[in-house]
Amino acid sequence: MERVVQEDWNGGTRDQWVNTLDRYVQSSDKPVLFVAHSLGSIAVSHWSKAHRGPVAGALLVAPTDVEAEWVASGSVYEGFRPICLEPLPFSTVLVASTDDPFVSVDRARTFASAWGSKLHIVGPLGHIGSDSKLGFWSEGRHLLEEIIQESRSK
C-alpha cells in the first residue's frame, strides 16, 4: 500500500490533485487499486476522465457532493465542480452512509449509477472516517477484497 500525499489536503486545485494522483499511478509497477475517501473519490472520477493507467479497481468511500448547497464559494470543493459523471473504466464499489452530511444516499446512488459502481449502503456511520470509530473496519476490508478478486478474474 502507498498513500497518495497531496500537496495541500485542505486546498490546492482539482488539476493539482488529479496530476498528483496520476504521478502515483504512472510510477507503479503493479496494477493500482484506489481506496479513496471523500474528495479523493471525486478526484478519482476526474483522473479517469483525463488519464489512463494500470488501475485494477477502486473502493470509493463517502464521496463528497461538491455540487451541494453547503459548499462554500471559493472552497477547495467548489474547484472540483462539475463532478465527472462518466463511467469509470475499472471495477468500483461505492460505499455510502445513511447519514453522511456531505452526500445524500440519493446522490450516492446517482454517482454509483453514472460511474458503473456497485453501491454498498452502510448504516448511520456519518462521513465514514476516523470519527466513525470503525477501527479495523472489517466490512470495508471485505469490500476491498471483493474488488481485488473481481480484478483478478478479468
Q: Compute the mean pLDDT over every residue in the chain, rounded to the nearest whole number.
A: 90
Distance CA 21, CA 10 (A): 16
DSSP structural state of residue 81: P
In which residue are the cell numbers 509497477 written? Answer: 29
Q: For residue 154, is pLDDT > 80?
A: no
- Residue 111's pLDDT is 98
- Residue 60's pLDDT is 97
- Residue 27's pLDDT is 94
- Residue 16's pLDDT is 93
pTM of the model: 0.91
DSSP structural state of residue 29: S
84, burial (CB in 10 Å: exposed 0-12, middle 13-18, buried 19+): buried
Q: Which three cell numbers stand for residue 138?
A: 472489517
15 pLDDT tier (thresholds 50, 70, 90): very high
